[in-house]
């Protein structure tokens, strides 16, 4: 890069040129003293031409120097702008570096804190490891104790199982014996009540005899049942079947008494309509007066109008009328 002219460079350059022209004039004057006017004029013309040439050269040089100075000035401005940009960049980088340093310091502080926290965690882990080791030792001891107790428990369990088995056998035996005496719920002819095993067994036996058609034995069985179990829940049903068996054996008076006792005791019994029809039949067999028989049938129709026995009674009433 070319160097710029210092201030006043053109003035300094013009001084030697002027000195050179002055010396030329002196030389021409001296030469004119020795030569004629023609030669003096030619010398002056020659000097003038040289002076003009020098002026032209000086003007060209000044222009060139001025152009170079302008170029240098422009380059100086460009360099100044670059310098400003570099200065701004340097300031920005310096600020970023300061921020990075601050961030690094902050990170270093956090790293220090993290290291301290890690140290505390490591210490706590060491304590936990010792605690876990103690706990494992305790668990191992407890496992040993449990194994010993498990063996004892198995022995106790076998003994308890044997005792339970014996108690169950005894309990079953006691329950079997008590079952023969303790009442239980039964259902007969749509009625539920409590009955002893003996009541259930004797009633079912008498009813089975009745179903076989052995009416004399059925009459005997139901009579024995009613004597043995007065006030039983089976009483109404037993009276009905006793009256039915007595009717079948032509014991009409006894049948009439049993059936009327059943109706008096349980008028809402499911077999009450059948019992009233059997009463009318017994009255007919005893050759009671027709008004008595008719009244019995009318009472049946009135008391149980929707029953099958009532339909049969209506048919008989039609025949009587």
pLDDT in tens, the chain (321 residues): 444 445 555 444 445 545 544 455 444 454 444 446 788 888 889 888 888 888 888 888 888 888 888 888 888 788 778 878 877 887 888 788 888 878 888 887 787 787 788 788 778 878 877 877 777 678 877 777 777 777 777 777 777 777 788 777 766 654 555 555 688 899 899 899 999 999 999 999 999 999 999 999 999 999 999 999 999 999 999 999 999 999 999 999 999 999 999 999 999 999 999 999 999 999 999 999 999 999 999 999 999 999 999 999 999 999 987
Looking at residue 180, its pLDDT comes to: 57
Indicate yes or no: pTM above 0.75.
no
- 283 contacts: CB under 8 Å, gap ≥ 6: 256, 292, 293, 296
* Residues 296 and 279 sit within 8 Å (Cβ to Cβ): yes
Q: Tell me the two tokens of residue 169.
A: 């056998």
Cα separation, 26 vs 289, in Å, equals 207
| CATH among 3.20.20.10, 1.25.40.10, 1.10.287.3510, 3.40.1190.20 for 184-320 | 1.25.40.10
Question: Where on the phi/psi map is residue 191: left (φ > 0), alpha (ψ -120 to 50), or beta?
Answer: beta
DSSP state of 234: T
Looking at residue 177, its pLDDT comes to: 57
Cα separation, 111 vs 104, in Å, equals 10
Write down the domain spans for the chain.
Answer: 9-98, 184-320
Q: Is 1 exposed, middle or buried, given 0-12, 13-18 or 19+ CB atoms closer than 10 A? A: exposed
Question: Sign (positive/negative) of CA torsion 180, 182, 184, 189?
Answer: positive
Question: Sign (positive/negative) of CA torsion 28, 31, 33, 39?
Answer: negative
* Residues 256 and 247 sit within 8 Å (Cβ to Cβ): no
What does the angle CA 296 – CA 299 – CA 305 come to, to the nearest 5 degrees?
Answer: 130
């Amino acid at each position: 890069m070319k160097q710029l002219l210092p201030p006043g460079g053109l003035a300094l350059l013009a001084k030697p040129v002027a000195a050179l022209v002055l010396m030329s004039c002196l030389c021409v004057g001296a030469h004119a003293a020795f030569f004629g006017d023609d030669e003096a004029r030619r010398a002056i013309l020659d000097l003038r031409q040289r002076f003009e040439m020098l002026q032209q050269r000086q003007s060209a040089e000044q222009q060139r120097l001025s152009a170079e100075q302008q170029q240098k000035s422009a380059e100086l401005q460009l360099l100044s702008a670059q310098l400003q940009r570099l200065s701004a960049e340097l300031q920005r980088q310096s600020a970023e570096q300061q921020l990075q340093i601050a961030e690094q310091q902050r990170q270093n502080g956090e790293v220090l804190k993290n290291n301290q926290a890690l140290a505390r965690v490591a210490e706590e882990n060491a304590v936990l490891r010792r605690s876990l080791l103690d706990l494992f030792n305790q668990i191992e001891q407890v496992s040993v104790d449990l194994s010993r107790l498990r063996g004892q428990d198995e022995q106790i369990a076998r003994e308890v199982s044997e005792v339970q088995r014996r108690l169950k056998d005894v309990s079953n035996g006691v329950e079997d014996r008590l079952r023969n005496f303790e009442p239980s719920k039964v259902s007969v002819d749509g009625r539920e009540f409590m009955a002893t095993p003996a009541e259930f067994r004797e009633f079912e036996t008498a009813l089975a005899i009745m179903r076989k058609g052995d009416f004399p034995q059925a009459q005997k069985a139901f009579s024995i049942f009613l004597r043995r179990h007065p006030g039983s829940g089976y009483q109404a049903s037993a009276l009905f079947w006793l009256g039915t068996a007595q009717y079948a054996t032509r014991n009409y008076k006894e049948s009439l008494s049993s059936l009327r006792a059943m109706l008096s005791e349980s008028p809402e019994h499911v077999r009450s309509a059948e019992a009233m029809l059997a009463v009318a039949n017994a009255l007919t067999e005893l050759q009671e007066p027709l008004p008595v028989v008719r009244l019995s049938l009318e009472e049946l129709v009135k008391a149980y109008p929707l029953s099958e026995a009532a339909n049969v009674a209506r048919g008989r009433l039609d025949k009587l009328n």
